[in-house]
Amino acid sequence: MSTTFKIAAFYQFAPLNDISVMQPKLLAAMKELEICGSILLAHEGINGTIAGPPEKLAAALREISRITGLVDFNPKFSDAAAQPFRRMKVRLKKEIVTIGPVKANPNEKVGTYVEAAEWNELISAPDVIVIDTRNAYEFGVGTFKGAFDPGTESFGEFPAWVREKFVKGFGAKPNQRIAMFCTGGIRCEKASSFMLNEGFENVYHLKGGILKYLEDVPAEQSLWEGGCFVFDERVAVGHGLQVMDFSTCHGCLKPVSAEDRQSPKFEEGVCCPACADSLTEVQKASNRERQRQVDLAAKRGLKHLGPVA
């Protein structure tokens, strides 16, 4: 069966004015083309993941470029057998990726971009510290061999980790060579700007992120271990951006592996090993009722909507 939907993930740091004028125009254009997904607009740039039939997705990207005036947001594409999003959202934000009230503006200062083909050589160097700028649950799905896990629950915790643990605890010096990465490049691009403003001199980041690496680098040459968590119904992808065997826990919205599903703490639609001990019995009962509705809908050949993505 041929794939009927294509997904485009994109971002660009670039000064944008009149974003409140752009917002309704973008939403109307996407709905006209029957595109679903999410676009964030801020004065620092654009960040989005959208999906639709290939020809309509191509038209949508042209419309985004026309409306915003941006021409270099280099979308990364993947395929899906079904629409991975339920509706279209265009939102105005203070930041297109939230790091918080620190100095971090890639439009002013950014680290050195490293192409996927050159990444292995960089992170294999003995004087390079590799930092995963994503959240702990993403790190748990997969990461690069030898990478640091800051253990953050949100990107906004990254500056505190750098200042309190990386500098004070680990003793990192300004001349330390640092290589950072994230899913698509946006978080490590902003993190590199922050690190430069904190006084670090040799900051590198993976251009296009993990997704570009998994797309370009053959599995037999790869230093990537596990899967890459993605923020849609695919949950995680591997080399060649092939969908991996992960699902999402309804109890905590964290990724669940095939191994996790064998745990006695896993209950379909209710909880997983990460949240089974923290959810109350009332919460579990509510989740069980929702799962019962999902199962009944499936028997009738319908799909229970659940939370809107």
CATH of residue 79: 3.30.70.100
In a domain, residue 240? The reply is: no
Return d(Cα 296, Cα 287) in angstroms, integer: 14
Residue 308 has pLDDT above 60, yes or no: no
Q: Which domain holds residue 177?
A: 112-225
Could you report the per-residue pLDDT of 292-301, keeping only the tens digit for each?
A: 988 888 888 7
Three-state secondary structure call for residue 196: helix
210: domain CATH number is 3.40.250.10
Residue 307 has pLDDT above 80, yes or no: no
Q: Which of 182, 249, 271, 272 is an active site residue?
A: 182
Could you report the per-residue pLDDT of 213-258, keeping only the tens digit for each?
A: 999 999 999 999 999 998 877 888 888 888 889 989 989 989 999 9
Q: End of a domain among 176, 198, 225?
A: 225
Which structure tokens are listed for 119?
């990444």
| 252 is known as an active-site residue | no
272 in the same domain as 221: no
Could you report the per-residue pLDDT of 12-48, keeping only the tens digit for each?
A: 999 999 999 999 999 999 999 999 999 999 999 999 9
In a domain, residue 238? The reply is: no
In a domain, residue 235? The reply is: no
Amino acid, single-letter form, for residue 269: G
In a domain, residue 232? The reply is: no
116 in the same domain as 221: yes
In a domain, residue 308? The reply is: no
pLDDT of residue 300: 82
pLDDT of residue 41: 97
Specify the number of domains making up the chain. 3
pLDDT of residue 306: 47
In a domain, residue 276? The reply is: yes
121 in the same domain as 20: no
Distance set, CA 112 to CA 132, 178, 203 (Å):
16, 10, 6
In a domain, residue 146? The reply is: yes
pLDDT of residue 304: 54
